[in-house]
Structure 1
Amino acid sequence: MDTGSHLLLGVTLAGLAQATGLVGNDPGLSQALMMATVAGSHAPDFDTVVRLRGITSYIRFHRGITHSIPALFLWPLIISLPLAWGFDVLGHFGLLYFWTWIAVVFHVFLDMFNAYGVQCLRPLNRRWIHLDVLAIFEPFLFVLHAAAAVWWLGFGGEAALLFPAAYGITLLYISGRAWQHARLVKRVAAVLKMRGVYHVIPSFHPFHWRFVVETDERFYTGKLEYTHVILQEMYPKQQRDDIIQATVGVDGVRAFLGFAQRIHVTWKECQDGYEVVWSDVRFWYNCKLPFGVDVRLDRDLKVVHHRLGWRKKAWDPPFV
């Protein structure tokens, strides 16, 4: 999910901890717990610092080792131990660790449900897991948790009522979106009647989705509006000839191939060489393939230039 939603969920997790009655009236523990859950809710995304080394490093490391199985247990230790010492609540270290762990796990859990995905099984498996159920920003969940947080902090609302209800509704909402997603995958398959791999990808609108179908010979893309399946684009697969193979060893292409899952590649001849375009069809939007690598080659198939990243403005969809 987006950074704002993760931080907000950190606040409401602190409220949920208050609702258990274990925190009591200890102001030092309450403050430490709030800081711990907020930090824990964002901690796996501290890997965004690698963006300073360029987009290639970011694609290679983002949502990788910092979201892995060992990280689920290391982040709570890194966060809760200094806070327990700083707020003089070392006697409650176990409680701080537990709620920080909940925050970290819930962060990774939510990331697993969107289209970008997460390598949460590392080091056992480097596979990207993306369930394509939630958008990167879910307006309903944000409003729900913002209302609960404001009512609790601003108007003295009862934590024991607000936060179990908020998290119960959250889990029901995610379950409902998962059911909706599974139903729409079947709907697209029934309409298109093709043998292949189907992806149905959410948007901010609860009833507008995109889909990608990969068959042996081509990719098909389109959109779902309520139950209407609208086929829009077809991308034939191209054999990887010498021109395409000349780009496989490029650092940006290797990083892309380690992340992308529905890979489409084409090339065209230019005045002074060739241009090879790698794209991940999962992020198709509005008849364009906005994410991938563009590589320029000279006539001798030597790499002149390459660029990895988004072929769109930051404020343009899709948002992943």
Structure 2
Amino acid sequence: MDTGTHVVMGIALGGLATLDPVVGNHEITAQTIMIGTLIGSQAPDLDTILKLKNNAKYIRNHRGITHSIPALFIWPLLITGAITLFSPEANVFHLFLWTFIAVVLHVFVDIFNAYGTQALRPFTKKWIALGIINTFDPFIFFAHIVGIAIWRYGVDPGYTFLGVYIVLIGYYVLRYYTKRQIIHKVKERIPDTTQIIISPTYRFNQWHLAITTKTKFYVARAVDLEINILDEYEKVPVPDTPIIKAAMKDENLSAFLSFSPVYRWEIDEYNDHYEVRFIDLRYRSKGYYPFVAVVQLDQSLNIVSSYTGWIFSEEKLMKKLEIAPEN
């Protein structure tokens, strides 16, 4: 989920924690738990700082080890230890428990995005992405805002957020059921489908689809359960050529391939260099595919420039590569 949603979830858990008798009857513990749930709801995304180094490091590691099974325990231990240094009167067990719940909830809701997490590390590095909830879902965010507003006007926070989460459980079930309907519709439309990757949008009734058969890729959109095919590509295996072999050594392309499950590729030859481009088919936006990996090589197949990440125009991509486009 986005940072704002994780913040309001942290506040909601701090309010929900007042249903715990120990928390409800001990003001200092309640205050420290609010701090713990706020920090715990953000802690797994500390790996966002990898963006400061480069996109390759960020793509390869974001929602990786910081969202893993060991991290579910390490984050609460670190946060609880730091808070109790300043508030030794707080109940340590209950502070750890609610901070642990905040961390677990963060990782749990991230699994429902199209991006997903490596939540089962260290047992597997497989990405778990259920594709049911958009990274920012207006209903989820504003349900929390309404709960916080009700709390602000004096209503019991524990029962308020208990009600909010009961509603949200129903919402998740509805989203899951809608996704199952879309999968059924796709298989009716394209019977030889072998893989369907669904990316929800922030609009309740619109979903991005990347559909694979044995011979083709289809990029589609589901609107009100109607499947609209937007693009169609032949499924061509990546060739085992010297140009591709050289490009595969690049850190940016390697990071892209470790993350992207469905893509097409292109090789272009210019006067003084080659360009290898891999294009993720999950994220079509206004006719453009913004998530790419590009490697440029000289005539001797030395890598001279590369980039991976989100880019929304060729001009900006060329600036990232520091090579002006040919006229």
Tell me if TM exceeds 0.5.
yes
Provide the C-alpha distance between the structure 2 equivalents of 1:295 and 1:140, rounded to a whole number of angstroms.
40
CA deviations over 1:39-67 (Å, ceiling 9, x no partner): 00111001111111111111121100000
8 Å Cα contact 1:210-1:222 kept in structure 2: yes
Q: TM-score, normalised by structure 1?
A: 0.93
Give 1:228 shift: 1.4
- Provide the residue aligned with 2:311 in structure 1: 311
**2:110 matches 1:111:** yes
Q: Alpha-carbon deviations, 1:59-93, whole Å to 9, x = none? A: 12110000000000000000012212311225x11
The Cα shift of 1:279 comes to 1.8
Q: What is aligned with 1:263?
A: 263
Residue matched to 2:134 = 135
Spell out the pairing of 1:1-320 with structure 2 (5 A cutoff): 1-90=1-90, 92-152=91-151, 154-238=152-236, 239-242=238-241, 243-312=243-312
Question: What residue identity is the alignment partner of 1:240?
Answer: P
The CA deviation at 1:106 is: 0.5
Question: Is this contact kept in 2: 1:237–1:265, CA < 8 A?
Answer: no
Per-residue Cα deviation, 1:210-249 (whole angstroms, up to 9, x for no partner) = 1111122221001111021111101223342412222111
What is the root-mean-square deviation in Å for CA atoms of aligned residues? 1.4
Once residues 25 and 186 of structure 1 are traced to their aligned partners in structure 2, the CA distance between those partners, rounded to angstroms, is 51
> Does the 8 Å contact 1:185/1:199 carry over to 2?
no
Runs of 4+ in 1 over 3 A off after TM superposition: none
Contact 1:47 1:66 in 2 (8 A): yes
Q: Deviations over 1:84-143 (max 9, x none)?
A: 2311225x1110111011000000001000011100011100000100000001101111
The C-alpha deviation readout for 1:185-233, integer Å capped at 9, x for no partner, is 1111111222320122211110011111112222100111102111110
Alpha-carbon distance in structure 1 between the residues aligned to 2:104 and 2:65: 14
C-alpha separation in 2, matches of 1:221 and 1:33: 45
Cα deviation for residue 147 of structure 1 reads 1.0
Q: Distance in 2 between matches of 1:274 and 1:217?
A: 27
Distance in 2, matches of 1:136 and 1:158, equals 29
Which consecutive residues of structure 1, in runs of 5 or more, have no partner in the other structure? 314-320
SS in 2 for 1:39: helix
Which deviates more from structure 2 when the two are superposed, residues 34-43 or residues 215-224? 215-224
Separation in structure 2 between the aligned mates of residue 136 and residue 108 of structure 1, nearest angstrom = 13
Matched residue, 1:318: none
The amino acid that maps onto 2:245 is Q
Shift of 1:16: 0.6
- 1:283 is paired with a residue whose SS is coil
Deviations 1:243-278 (A, max 9, x none): 222211111111111111113211111121211101
- Cα distance in 2 for partners of 1:76, 1:31 equals 16
Please, what TM-score do these two structures have when normalized by structure 2? Answer: 0.91
Distance 1:265 1:136 in 2: 27
- Aligned-residue offset at 1:285: 2.9
Q: Secondary structure at the match of 1:99?
A: helix
| In structure 2, distance between residues paired with 1:65 and 1:20 | 31
How far did 1:38 drift?
Answer: 0.6
Number of aligned residue pairs = 311
Output the CA distance in 1 between the equivalents of 2:80 and 2:55.
Answer: 31
CA contact (8 A) 1:19 1:164 kept: no
Q: State which drifts further: 20-29 or 53-62.
A: 20-29
Cα drift, residue 161 of structure 1: 2.4
More moved, 250-259 vs 117-126:
250-259
